[in-house]
Structure 1
Amino acid sequence: MPTATKPFLRLRVEPVDRHRWLTAGAVLALAAAALMAAFGLPPVDLHGPLHMLGIMDPFCGGTRAARYAGQGNLAEAWRYNPLSIVIVYGALAAVARAGLGLVTRRWLTLTIGWTPARRRWVITIALVLLVLLELRQQLRADLLMAGTNTWP
């Protein structure tokens, strides 16, 4: 007799917001992107010591990329760090979800049906993507090291 497996992703509508933390983080991320889009990069150096030695990490270029994503310039955002596009527009989707929930009093809730095998697959895929992003960013070290402090 086959056993029923729970779905990997499930979208439900609920009467309460179970993800307030997501909305708060999304608002902060969008505020940072909007401020950088309007006023430029922060006047402080956010890089670690390895950056100055030419060793990039997967998040290098993220600040400049978030600024470009906030300006809607996705080509430049992708050039610096594609992860920022996911973060900025994911934050926008989270804030839109919260706005819709506030208006309708119904909250879209995405749940993940974790099993040990699914958890291993997701962790493996995430690690492979992180390594690929690290390699990509290291290949762009010249771009990422150039002009890191620009404040209009």
Structure 2
Amino acid sequence: MPTAAVPFLRLRVEPVDHHRWVTAGAALALGAAFLMAAFGLPPVDLHGPLHPLGIMDPFCGGTRAARYAAQGNLAEAWRYNPLSIVIVCGAMAAVVRAGIGLVSRRWLTLTIGWAAARRRWVIAIVLVLLVLLEVRQQLRADLLMAGTSTWR
């Protein structure tokens, strides 16, 4: 007898929040982004060890981009690192979900059906996207290094 296909994404409403850690992480990330939007970038160097040599990683520009995304300047955020827009918007969605859950006592829960073949495809797609982001960031090395190097 054939088994029923497991849906890739399933959305359910539950009486308990099973993802408090997502909400906590999202709240911390949003708090940091909005603090940077209000007060500027942190005074510490957050760059990887290869940054001063001109070698960017996929996350280079993420701090500045998160600041711009929190300020609502999505064009500048995209210019520095498009991943930050996804992270800030995802964090906002998680915090809004938590607020609605606290008020309604009903928690919207997204479940992913991780069949083995799906997992391989998702991992492959994520790796390809990270490589493409790495190439994009490396092509923008001049922008990403401007005003950040302490080795000059």
Same fold per TM (> 0.5)? Answer: yes
- Where does structure 2 lack aligned partners over 5 or more consecutive residues? none
Residue matched to 2:16: 16
Residue matched to 2:98: 98
Q: What secondary structure sits across from 1:89 in the alignment?
A: helix
Q: What secondary structure sits across from 1:120 in the alignment?
A: helix
Residue matched to 1:137: 137
Task: Find the aligned partners of 1:121 and 1:56 in 2 and give their Cα distance.
Answer: 26
Is 1:112 aligned with 2:112? yes
Q: Percent identity?
A: 87
Q: What secondary structure sits across from 2:50 in the alignment?
A: helix
Task: Find the aligned partners of 1:50 and 1:73 in 2 and give their Cα distance.
Answer: 28
Residue 47 of structure 1 aligns to which amino acid in structure 2?
A: H
CA deviations over 1:1-42 (Å, ceiling 9, x no partner): 653101000000000000000000000000000000001101
Residue 46 of structure 1 aligns to which amino acid in structure 2?
A: L
Residue 88 of structure 1 aligns to which amino acid in structure 2?
A: V
Question: Alpha-carbon deviation of 1:81?
Answer: 0.1
| TM-score of the aligned structures, taking structure 1 as reference length | 0.96
Q: Which runs of structure 1 show a deviation greater than 2 angstroms over 4 or more consecutive aligned residues? A: none
| TM-score of the aligned structures, taking structure 2 as reference length | 0.96
CA RMSD in angstroms comes to 1.0
